[in-house]
Amino acid sequence: MFGHIFGLIFNPEPTWKSIKAKLDQGSVNTTVLMIFLAFIPPVSGYIGTTMVGWQLGSGDPIKLTSSSAGFIAILYFFAIIVGINAVALAIRWMAQTYEAQVSYQHALALSCFTAVPLLLVGIFEVYPVLWINFLVGLLALALSVRLLFTGVPIMLNVNKDKGILYASSILAFGLIALVAMLVITALLWGFGLEPSLIR
């Protein structure tokens, strides 16, 4: 499964076909890949926020305490796992609308591999500079959207026209889930679970 990562980035259509063929044979386990990749952003974020910190203007770097950053990293990891699985469940739920026969493994593989660029750029959280993280994240998001739109017709056995609509629905679900996570974060901070800063 790890060998498909670079293929998806540089040559997505044949790589999606290869992934689908392996899933159809039952010789692939997406869960291991998902768990491995889900560790990258939280671990990088922990290192970046506790050891490097970030600067606002010309002042000293602002860092998080180890306990606060550790708690956030654990929540971050589980949010990634829940998010990937929630998108997979949404893909499976929407399958009837687009006349697709989708197993959970196929939906999970599509969800996981589509998220790969976003998870890999999590390594940049080691050095938390806002404009660098923004630009790299924007590039990763564009690549993830490309993977989604090329992967849906192949992985879910739908024609290209339905694939565009299906992928658009999945993308809309992802955006709604992102807004929901931001609201939950704001509520948790409001109830006293805000991060502890070191100045």
Separation of alpha carbons 92 and 141, rounded Å: 22
Structure-block tokens of residue 184: 């939950």
Q: Phi and psi (nearest 5°) for 118? A: -65, -35
pLDDT tens digit sequence for 67-82: 999 999 999 999 999 9
Domain count of the fold of the chain: 1
Separation of alpha carbons 198 and 67, rounded Å: 12
119: pLDDT strictly greater than 90 = yes
Mean pLDDT of the chain: 89
- Would you state the pLDDT for residue 1? 60
Q: What is the pTM assigned to this prediction?
A: 0.90
Element (H, E) at 198: strand 197-198
**Domain range holding 117?**
4-198
Mean pLDDT of 21-46: 90
pLDDT band at 109 (very low <50, low <70, confident <90, very high): very high
Mean pLDDT of 101-105: 88
